Amino acid sequence: MDEMKKGRGSVFHAVAAFSSVLCLLALFLTFSATAAEGSDSRREVPAEEILTKIKMSGPADYENVSIVGSFDLTDMFIDSDIKIRNSCVDELNFTSSSFSKPVEFANCTIRGQADLSRAKFLDAASFEDSTFEQNASFSEAEFGDAIFKNARFPGISDFDYAKFGGYTCFSGADLTNSSFSEAEFKGPAEFGSSRFNGTANFLKAHFFDLTNFKGADFGGDASFASTKFDDVAAFTSARFQDNASFKLARFARATHFGATNFTKDAIFQLSAFDNLAYFIGARFGGNLDLMGSKIFNIKLENTTFAKGSEITLKDADFTKFQTHWSHINKYLAYDGAAYLRLVKNYKDLEWFSDSDDCYYQYRIESQALKSWGSSKIVDILACTTCGYGVRPIQPIICSVILILGCTTVFWMGNGLRHSTNKEKRTSLYDALYYCLAIFFTIPLPDLKPAGRYRYVPVILRAIAWTLFALLIATLGKVMIR
């Protein structure tokens, strides 16, 4: 019995010891895996090794490596394929170098400075999914096809004076404080869904082909001042979180800002829209400044303006402004010439009701700015009696008020006398009957005004003729187009 207990105890101790060994082994494997994850498993390759291959015109094809040292090809003509994928690069220096064959840095991380200024990529250059951890300069660089899809630039990215000769793709790219000042895009330019986290500068850039900024997000100031768009430009559903400046920009073909969100001011001063400018569904958190712009055709229907927003059309010249007056009348900054151009515009579009409403508000605001004098008094009379010639209901309302007023005067003052019973007091019915007859020039031998009330029918008839003439004139203007 004792031997059996001893045997069981030995087995128990053996199992316990084995379990401890397994636990220690598991801990060791976990630690090893963690250590492996914390270190870069990429094979290190000296930059000199790659440079030697390139100088010998051999292909440089590397994947999942870490290139140590400066990848320096300054002032060189490169006749080799360069393909670096899923790798890390300490530093890039391609200043004034020329590449006759494709260059690819796909899904790479450039840890240090990247200087590719004045580089010439005669064939395609791809930096798709790559990250430039520090500043990157491509100023005065020349590209064939340039692919920066989903690339990330957390530092400054400088593309000033760059020339993109073929297809250019920055869709999904993440850029901070980027500059494309005076850059040229000869082929289609794709910036769809790109993110500009800081300033975005396209001052005097030139887009020769289709330009797409659909869904782009501009986190800071966005400047497209003096930029030229020779083909269709699409900013549909883009978001400008700060001021968006298109001052002196030129849009030669159709321009789409549909559903675009301008959080602050949208500045189009002195810009030129030679074709359709489509803003339907756009949202304006600040002002829409079109001062001095030249517009062939603009559509602003279903746009949303924040409280306090203003539309400025001072000195603007437009052929077609296809936006109903009721949609913009609350936001249009007063400018007499702009109002009158809109009146003419609505007539040309055969939107006569909009034309009348626009003209009426123009006269109202013009009158409010005048100081008291004969001109202001005449304006008030014109507004009251005929609505500045565009409200036929106004003479009718004035006529009704005039008849009722004179009726009240005769009735309360007992100003009428019957030919058969001169002592009878003037009834309300008789006063109304008499005033209607006088207004419509019907003689009434049985009723006559007495004393000072003899002047009332003279005044009534004179004003009646004036109101009748105004009614005919207003109806002729409004109804006979």
Instruction: Read off the pLDDT of residues 272-322 as tens digits, 9 standing for 90 and up.
Output: 999 999 999 999 999 999 999 999 999 998 999 999 999 999 999 999 999
27-82 pLDDT tens trace: 444 444 443 443 457 789 999 989 988 888 888 999 999 999 999 999 999 998 99
Mean per-residue pLDDT for 121-132? 96
Q: Is the pLDDT of residue 13 over 70?
A: no
- Percent of the chain residues past pLDDT 90, beyond the cut: 64
Q: Are strands 416-418 and 447-449 parallel, antiparallel or unpaired?
A: antiparallel
How far apart (Å, rounded) are the C-alpha atoms in residues 78 and 42? 26
Q: What is the mean pLDDT of the chain?
A: 88
Which of left, alpha, beta for 461 (phi over 0: left; psi -120 to 50: alpha)?
A: alpha
Angle CA 147–149–151, to nearest 5:
105
Q: Note the pLDDT tens digit of each residue in 365-416.
A: 888 878 888 888 888 888 788 888 888 888 889 999 999 999 999 898 888 8
Question: In b/e form, how buried is each residue of 165-198, taking b as 16+ CB within 10 angstroms?
Answer: bbbbbbbbbbbbbbbbbbbbbbbbbbbbbbbbbb
What is the per-residue pLDDT for 370? 83
Chosen CATH of 393-479 out of 1.10.287.70, 2.30.110.10, 3.20.20.10, 2.40.50.180: 1.10.287.70
Q: Please determine, for residue 8, whether its predicted confidence score (pLDDT) is greater than 50.
A: no
The whole-number average pLDDT for the span 139-158 is 96
Please tell me which residue, 12 or 413, carries the higher pLDDT value.
413
User: Is the distance from CB of 278 to CB of 257 less than 8 angstroms?
Assistant: yes
Q: Give me the DSSP letters along 232-262.
A: -EE-TT-EESS-EE-TT-EE-S-EE-TT-EE
CB 209 within 8 A of CB 186: yes
Question: What is the structure's pLDDT at 481?
Answer: 61
Residue boundaries of the structural domains of the chain = 257-369, 393-479
Q: Quick one: pLDDT at residue 58? A: 81
Per-residue pLDDT band at 480 (split at 50, 70, 90): low
pLDDT of residue 415: 82
**Is the per-residue pLDDT at 26 higher than 70?**
no
Helix axes 455-479, 393-413, angle to 10 degrees: 170
Model confidence at 467, in pLDDT bands (50, 70, 90)? confident
Does residue 139 register a pLDDT over 70? yes
